[in-house]
Amino acid sequence: MGKLFGFLLVLVLLAGAVAGGGWFWLNGVYTSAGPLTEDGKPRAVLVERGSSTQAIATKLHEAGAITDADQFRLALRVRELMGDKPVMKAGEYEIDSGASMERIVEQLSTGSPLQYAVIVPEGLSTIQILEILAEREWKATGGSTLAYKLAGEAPAQVSEGVLLPGDYAVTRGDTVESVVERMKKAQQDLLDELWDNRAADLPVSTREDAIKLASVVERETGNSDEQPEVAAVFENRLKIGMPLQADSTTVYGITKGKPLGRSITRKDLDAKTPWNTYQISGLPETPICNPGAGAIRATLNPAESKAIYFVADGTGAHVFAETYAEHQRNVDAYWKLRKQNEAAGVNTPAVRPQR
């Protein structure tokens, strides 16, 4: 009986030694450095939503980030039995050259997936925004060299002025349509935030008209510091029944949101379109671009000003006037400066004076 007990004890100890040796070996594989990339740069690995551990292991192996998918799965299984069960998240990750399995699991469990910065400037028409969303590649944030082109096609029908320009973070797999919907919602959320606190005496009574006017403000000046003053000028004109006389509305009536590609002519100003505010009173038929948050804020809470004229000052900014005589002096000063600059070979910002 004593000999049998001793024999069984030896078997248990041997099995434990084998198991222990296997564990130490597997743990060594799990924590040791992984395969190197040829150029030393990280590998991009996309973990799709709902992927199983097996699918993730296969994806990592196909990308060259691990040498053996079965070892990866076994190591995770052993850790799960020991009470350590990491939950790996979907997304795109940059796996460093030589990263261990342990580091990869940590990154997929606690790290943030790669994001790409979609940057839409203020003042573009809907046609222009849809074009850049569908055609441009966007750089990854965080110093990565990767780029991503949004999936899918642009929606067929998107109204003018309903998108809020700005910076939008996307991940691989996001579509043009999903970004468009986010931009629509962002504008509505901003209007929800601002509408109840708008100035009391505005000459616009609906959100739609506010966006129309904000689009004119945006196109007349991209200078956020000036936008409240420019908004006040146009609102003062609306209050007294004076035409807005904004060149940007003339251009939109011709191109419907595309660049004109030339200077405005007298014939353009005389053209009767539902947008040309030299020929119509009040607001254009639709917005003429997608205004940014600054222009919308300025329109809903303009500066306290009685000015009804403004003109370029030759430096990229504008000067404002309450009377036509004062305005004419500002116009003359602008053209005098421009002629002086031309004689000296100095460029003057090409801004057409407002009438």
pLDDT tens digits for 246-273? 999 999 999 999 999 898 999 999 999 9
Q: Between 2-31 and 69-81, two packed helices, what is the crossing angle to 10 degrees?
A: 120
Last residue of a domain, one of 110, 129, 161: 110
* pLDDT range class, residue 206, cuts 50, 70, 90: very high
| H/E stretch holding 95 | strand 91-95
| H/E stretch holding 43 | strand 43-47
Q: Are 125 and 98 in a shared domain?
A: no
Quick one: average pLDDT of 120-144? 94
- Report the alpha-carbon distance of residue 281 to residue 240 in Å, rounded: 11
Q: SS3 of 167, please?
A: strand
Q: Are 319 and 339 in a shared domain?
A: yes
Phi and psi at residue 31, to the nearest 5°: -100, -10
CATH of the domain at 89: 3.30.1490.480
* pLDDT range class, residue 170, cuts 50, 70, 90: very high
The answer to whether 131 touches 176, Cβ cutoff 8 Å, is no
Q: How many separate domains does the chain show?
A: 3
Locate 328 and state its tokens.
């004419």
- Report the alpha-carbon distance of residue 128 to residue 258 in Å, rounded: 7
Q: Are 90 and 126 in a shared domain?
A: no
- Report the alpha-carbon distance of residue 77 to residue 80 in Å, rounded: 5
Least confident residue range of 16-30, 67-81, 130-144, 206-220: 16-30
Last residue of a domain, one of 189, 218, 239: 189
User: How buried is 95 (Cβ within 10 angstroms: 0-12 exposed, 13-18 middle, 19+ buried)?
Assistant: buried
Q: Does residue 168 lie within any of the structural domains?
A: yes
* pLDDT range class, residue 354, cuts 50, 70, 90: very low
Q: Are 96 and 157 in a shared domain?
A: no
User: Tokens 């509305």 sit at which residue?
Assistant: 249
- Report the alpha-carbon distance of residue 280 to residue 262 in Å, rounded: 23
pLDDT digit string (tens) for 40-73?
Answer: 889 889 888 888 989 999 999 999 999 989 888 8
Write down the pLDDT at residue 29.
78
Write down the pLDDT at residue 316.
83
| Domain extent for 322 | 306-355
How much helix, strand and coil, in percent to the nearest 5, is found in the chain?
45, 10, 45
- Report the alpha-carbon distance of residue 171 to residue 296 in Å, rounded: 28
Q: Are 106 and 121 in a shared domain?
A: no
pLDDT value at 21 more than 80? no
Quick one: average pLDDT of 301-320? 92
- In percent, how much of the chain has pLDDT > 70? 91
Write down the pLDDT at residue 80.
82
Higher pLDDT, 347 or 138: 138
Q: Which of 172, 214, 223 is nearest to 194 (CA)?
A: 214
Higher pLDDT, 17 or 271: 271
CATH of the domain at 315: 3.30.160.60
Write down the pLDDT at residue 350.
53
Least confident residue range of 5-14, 173-182, 293-302: 5-14
Locate 152 and state its tokens.
């899918």
Cβ neighbors of 136 (< 8 A, separation 6 or more) are 149
Q: Are 80 and 128 in a shared domain?
A: no
Beta-bridge partner residues of 168: 118
Q: What is the pTM of this model?
A: 0.82
Fill in the DSSP letter of residue 257: T
Phi and psi at residue 91, to the nearest 5°: 145, 180
